[in-house]
Amino acid sequence: MPDFDQGDLDALAAALLRRLGLLSGPLPPAGPTGVPEPRLPELLPFDRPMPELYRPARLAIQGLEVTQATQYFGSSFGADNSIPMVALKPMVVRAYPYAIPGLLTGDTLSGQQVTGELVLSRWGKEVYRTGPTRSGGARLGRRTELDRTLWDREDDLWVGSRDGLSMTHLRGNPPLNFLVPAWYLRAEQTVATVRLWVASAPGVTADASLRLDVLNVAAPKVALVRIKWDNGMGTVVTPADDDMLGTLRLAERMLPFPYFEANILTLSYTRSGNFGATVSAGGCNALWDEILKRLKEARFWTQLFQLADIVIGIVPAAGFPTGQTTVNTGCGSGEDGVGAFFAGQEMTTAHEIGHIYQRPHVHVPGDPKNDPDYPKYRKGFDRSIGEVGLDVGLSPPTLYDPATAIDVMAYTTAAGEPQWISPYTYSKILEARSLYATVPADPRRVRPWLILTFQLERMARGGRTVALEKAIRLDAPGGITAAAGQDESPISIDLLDADDRILATHHAYPIRSEPGRCGCHGGRGGVPKGREPFLSFVEAIPLPEREVARISFHTGDAPLLVVEAGDPPYIALVGPEQQEDGLHLRLEVSGSDERISTVILFTGDGGETWIPVAEDPPTDVLLVIDPAQLPGGQRCRFRAVATARLRSATAETGEFELPRRGRGLFVRAEADPCARGWVRLHALIDVRGLGAVPPQDVRWESDRDGDLGQGFEQAARLSDGRHVISASIPDGLGGRVTERAIIIVGGRPPQTLPG
């Protein structure tokens, strides 16, 4: 039998349909480029409907999906399966091509390579054009062979039958993936158009468009607090700035925010002991619980002085215990906007930030606060994300298969169990994004506040009592957001004047801590509500205009504790003296009340803005402050506020000058172990109160290969040899700050250089 090419078969099919009276008029063009072949008639569109099977094998697009961290998994591929996009966050458009066989010609396209391009446009104007992430395209196949769990690779498997007598050939074809950098995605009317063609026949094309829903989401303002760890043998370990910032990076990529506006506070705490110890009741241990109280106090200060809305403490990785089968990797109180974790525990950080945005656990055994509405993926695996997760921050991007990955709000039950975020959790956090989006306050308008830390303790013989730990009274311009998702208040505080008239009543809510786990088996357990031995509280109370003579704590009619206003303490602040090891301050505090609480603040602009520097510093030793951790300015001074009972006193230093400090930039360069020449670049930014840096303002260069692109993260392919990689950002003071790293392609690992 003679061989027939594609043109011969098309001509034969056309002649047959003409004879049957199903086709009249000229025929449409054949040939891969649309140019008529000499031996065939010229092909043009025709009026009469044509049977679907006549046409030659065609390229079609089952649908387009857009994703930034996760995508819906369902029976179709298309716009209905896409979540809202967040502006200034990297986006992936996934196109699902397949082959449609023709009459007589059959399926002549399957097995060929399909490629294409993406065009992003706003208001009819093209703003970005790119090819697929995989050069050369992807294998084309039948619609049933499409597999959204694949990234830039095909599956080609032979699977044996149960009886071992036969083999089944299974193929899986990936979508074509198009990556859109963060700075091209804006909160405007945006259309993504994909055009595909068969690599060996460019005339065989298909296209599809999708209108995007792009939201403008504010970057959460996060304050990081350094938790220094004393190993008990005379060594104090401090978490490095880049380790603290890097612990947030996974949450930035996973959660529905463009980035975090992270600010490392000068404030720090030193603690010793085993942070990783777990407790039988399934809660946080005493170290984490105590740190959460300090962090909630710090959060009130950051809100009152307009520094941040979420406060996170970072413990150095050196404090991570070894040899334990279960480890408490962190702890948070989501209702209070605070959490604390070991440096490097990125998934724990993302989990606890989920709690901060009011996401409960997903099927944690024994936890009564599990999310009852979480959709089940399949029987026996109810912790699954149920959809494909996507981490575009890695090179190559990592896909999380719903058959094996669990939701970020679940607990792992085995080492190495993959976790990612589901569209359900992603969308719920997106809906709650306004919880921590505050409006800036006027620094010229201040009001008095009283911050109380106390415990409500249950007595063995019945009844309760209140133990007041500390009180701080200060003036500040900001406001306090109400605790979200709280139950009925277990205790109230009355503010009384000298005639015992109630000026105001404040309802207090306890800190409800949730542990982060690593390698845990089993549930939270816990103490039944109302049977806790004590409840911890940190409350910020706005003071009324009239003088408060006393406060009274109530759980019913009779007061549990009455605190008189008392007399203000004596306070003096001497210094600062510039020495080689820093600024020396000497604090003197005394008073008739034995419980005096002190906070030291710093301003670099003559008092327009303040930051907390130290809490309850010792009065019998010299206080040394590193000037490199202060914002600096021409009108600097320290302020110390001491509170005894309900009265406070203030002392300030004279004004002095410090060099202004711009934003901090830290660079990480990681060689890809699987692909020679590829390097992953990460820019970590401490905004230092100078505002967020959008991704388009982060620029990367190589001294050998030139411009490498923009954004917080880059996957760059470098030529062989020694490269000095530079990242630069605006420093917030009118210039730019640059940091460098050395990497040798084919040589030793990357090394970081000073800027």
SS (H, E, C) 79-133: HHHCCCEECCCCEEEEEEEEEECECCCECCCCCCEEEEEEEEEECCEEEEEECCC
Q: Which of 7, 211, 201, 174 is nearest to 98 (CA)?
A: 174
570-658: CATH class: mainly beta
Choose the weakest-confidence range: 377-391, 413-427, 514-528, 562-576.
514-528
Residues of the chain above pLDDT 90, percent: 42
Query: What single DSSP character describes residue 593?
Result: S
Residue 632 pLDDT exceeds 60 = yes
Choose the weakest-confidence range: 323-337, 407-421, 547-561.
323-337
What pLDDT, on a 0 to 100 scale, did the predictor assign at position 26? Answer: 44
* Reported confidence tier of residue 535, pLDDT bands at 50, 70, 90: confident
Token pair listed for 702: 């190589």
The overall average pLDDT reported for the chain is 83
Query: Residue range 368-382: average pLDDT?
Result: 78
Query: What single DSSP character describes residue 489?
Result: -
CA atoms of 140 and 168, how far apart (whole Å): 19
What pLDDT, on a 0 to 100 scale, did the predictor assign at position 167? Answer: 60
Residue 103 pLDDT exceeds 50 = yes
pLDDT tens-place string over residues 737-754: 999 988 888 756 555 555
What pLDDT, on a 0 to 100 scale, did the predictor assign at position 118? Answer: 95
Count the neighbouring beta carbons within 10 Å of the beta carbon of residue 581. 9
Count the neighbouring beta carbons within 10 Å of the beta carbon of residue 414. 7
Residue 195 pLDDT exceeds 90 = yes
- Residue 339: in which H helix or E strand, if any? strand 338-342
Query: What single DSSP character describes residue 689?
Result: T
Check residues 232 and 699 and name the one with the higher pLDDT.
699
664-753: CATH class: mainly beta
Residue 524 pLDDT exceeds 90 = no
Token pair listed for 635: 């009108």
Selecting from 2.60.40.1930, 2.60.200.30, 1.20.140.10, 2.60.40.10, what CATH number does the domain 57-215 have?
2.60.40.10
CA atoms of 332 and 283, how far apart (whole Å): 10
Check residues 7 and 658 and name the one with the higher pLDDT.
658
What pLDDT, on a 0 to 100 scale, did the predictor assign at position 522? Answer: 36
Query: What single DSSP character describes residue 439?
Result: P
Q: How do strand 721-730 and strand 736-745 relate by DSSP bridges?
A: antiparallel
* Reported confidence tier of residue 169, pLDDT bands at 50, 70, 90: low
| DSSP symbols for 251-276 | HHHHSSSS--EEEEEEEEEEEES-TT
Q: Tell me the pTM.
A: 0.85
What pLDDT, on a 0 to 100 scale, did the predictor assign at position 280? Answer: 55
What pLDDT, on a 0 to 100 scale, did the predictor assign at position 7? Answer: 52
What pLDDT, on a 0 to 100 scale, did the predictor assign at position 525? Answer: 46
Residue 255 pLDDT exceeds 90 = yes
Choose the weakest-confidence range: 139-143, 495-499, 668-672.
668-672
Query: Residue range 356-371: average pLDDT?
Result: 85
Residue 16 pLDDT exceeds 90 = no
No. of helices (H) and no. of strands (E), the chain? 6, 47
What pLDDT, on a 0 to 100 scale, did the predictor assign at position 277? Answer: 76
Query: Residue range 551-556: average pLDDT?
Result: 90
* Reported confidence tier of residue 621, pLDDT bands at 50, 70, 90: confident
CA atoms of 608 and 442, how far apart (whole Å): 9
The answer to whether 222 touches 261, Cβ cutoff 8 Å, is yes
Check residues 734 and 676 and name the one with the higher pLDDT.
734
Residue 165 pLDDT exceeds 70 = no
Residue 401 pLDDT exceeds 90 = no
Residues 6 or more apart whose CB falls under 8 angstroms from that of 261 comprise 219, 220, 221, 222, 308, 687, 691, 692
Token pair listed for 536: 């911890």
* Reported confidence tier of residue 73, pLDDT bands at 50, 70, 90: low
Residue 29 pLDDT exceeds 50 = no
Fold held by 224-436: Collagenase (Catalytic Domain) (3.40.390)
What pLDDT, on a 0 to 100 scale, did the predictor assign at position 343? Answer: 92
* Reported confidence tier of residue 30, pLDDT bands at 50, 70, 90: very low
- Separation in Å, CA 194 to CA 116, 201, 207, 232, 724: 7, 17, 5, 61, 37
Choose the weakest-confidence range: 153-162, 239-248, 541-550.
153-162
Residues of the chain above pLDDT 70, percent: 83
SS3 371: coil
The answer to whether 264 touches 307, Cβ cutoff 8 Å, is no
Query: Residue range 675-697: average pLDDT?
Result: 87
SS3 697: helix
What pLDDT, on a 0 to 100 scale, did the predictor assign at position 234? Answer: 82
- Asked if the domains at 57-215 and 664-753 fall in one CATH topology, the answer is yes
Residue 142 pLDDT exceeds 70 = yes
* Reported confidence tier of residue 259, pLDDT bands at 50, 70, 90: very high
What pLDDT, on a 0 to 100 scale, did the predictor assign at position 39? Answer: 36
Residues 6 or more apart whose CB falls under 8 angstroms from that of 284 comprise 292, 328, 331, 513, 514, 515
* Reported confidence tier of residue 322, pLDDT bands at 50, 70, 90: confident
Q: What residue spans define the domains of the chain? A: 1-54, 57-215, 224-436, 570-658, 664-753
> What are φ and ψ of residue 96, in 5° steps?
-110, 90
Query: Residue range 351-357: average pLDDT?
Result: 91
The label of the residue with tokens 């490097």 reads: 344
Residue 204 pLDDT exceeds 80 = yes
pLDDT tens-place string over residues 698-733: 999 999 989 988 889 888 888 888 889 999 999 999
CA atoms of 132 and 149, how far apart (whole Å): 17
